[in-house]
Amino acid sequence: MTKLSVNVNKIATLRNSRGGNNPDVLKTALDIERFGADGITVHPRPDERHIRYADVFDIKKNIHTEFNIEGNCTEQKFVELVLANKPTQVTLVPDAIGQITSNHGWNTIEHKDYLTNMISVFKNAGIRVSIFVDPVVEMVEGAAATGTDRIELYTEGFAKEYAINKEKSIAPYIAAAKKANALGLGINAGHDLDLHNLNYFAQNVPGLLEVSIGHALVCDALYLGLENTVQLYKRQLL
């Protein structure tokens, strides 16, 4: 079954908007685990506008399921943070400084040498590595050449197209997944997956190991309750 990793960045955004510690990011992460999630994802950025570096250390010390840290490995502080915490997985995302949210995958061909070097740094520390890629067969082939363990398919394109033509929206992801499976790469996915499109995506992408969902899940929780929402997302992956 595909695992659900819940991104708690939005919980941290809410906390930071007023100062103090309400909501408590650590408690929320542990509650999300207790409600049935298979893992917790964080994506710290240099300005700490949502997840703070201290949050990463707190979650790592207390988490019982998988811990996934996303971020841009061109930032030395991020690299040091990951190596200090040794999460289950690090997901390398090519974010620019100040970028609001991730919006594209790595060019794995152009950046092959850089990625190969960075991936080896994390793998030598015993950390599973995933790299963010667009659903393009050539980018998947390039990812395999870097030595990464997994890829994370960037799913915004699928989410935007889904309501218009779901068969067309899923086609490049199926092709990318088939190539990844053939090359021995694990497959993760994330960005704009929600209760409307998640089941279709999971049912049609072969070998999908994990999805990382934050924004949509937290928005749904405002209406449906956090525990109920986590379980509803889990059911989409059965």
Q: What is the pTM of this model?
A: 0.95
- The residues, ordered by sequence, that sit 6+ positions from 182 with a Cβ below 8 Å of its Cβ are none
Choose the catalytic residue: 43, 50, 66, 152: 43
Q: 183 near 215, Cβ under 8 Å?
A: no
Integer Cα distance of 203 and 166 in angstroms: 12
Whether 79 and 114 have beta carbons less than 8 Å apart is answered as no
Round to whole Å and give the CA distance between 97 and 11.
Answer: 21
H-type alpha helices, 53-194: 53-62, 76-85, 112-124, 137-146, 156-162, 166-183
Is 50 in the active site?
A: no
Does residue 108 or residue 100 have the better pLDDT?
Answer: 108
User: Any catalytic annotation for residue 104?
Assistant: no
Residue 100 has pLDDT above 60, yes or no: no
Q: How far is CA 34 from CA 86, 103, 118, 238, in A?
A: 22, 31, 33, 18
Average pLDDT, the chain: 95
Among candidate residues 50, 66, 152, 191, the one labeled active-site is 191
Catalytic residue among 33, 70, 152, 210: 70
- The CATH number covering residue 54 comes to 3.20.20.70
What pLDDT does residue 103 have? 59
Which residues form the domain of 230? 3-235
Whole-Å CA distances, 209 to 48, 141, 203, 212: 29, 18, 12, 10
191 in active site: yes
Average pLDDT for 163-174: 98
Instruction: Determine the Cα–Cα distance for residues 218 and 173; give it in Å rounded to an integer.
Output: 25
| CB contact set of 172 (below 8 Å; sequence gap of 6+) | 135, 136, 157
Number of domains in the chain: 1
Q: Regarding predicted confidence, which is higher, 203 or 103? A: 203
At 31-63, the pLDDT tens digits run: 999 999 999 999 999 889 999 999 999 999 999
Of the chain, the percentage scoring pLDDT greater than 90 comes to 93
- What's the pLDDT at 98? 56
List, in order, residues 6 or more apart from 79 with CB less than 8 Å away.
73, 118, 121
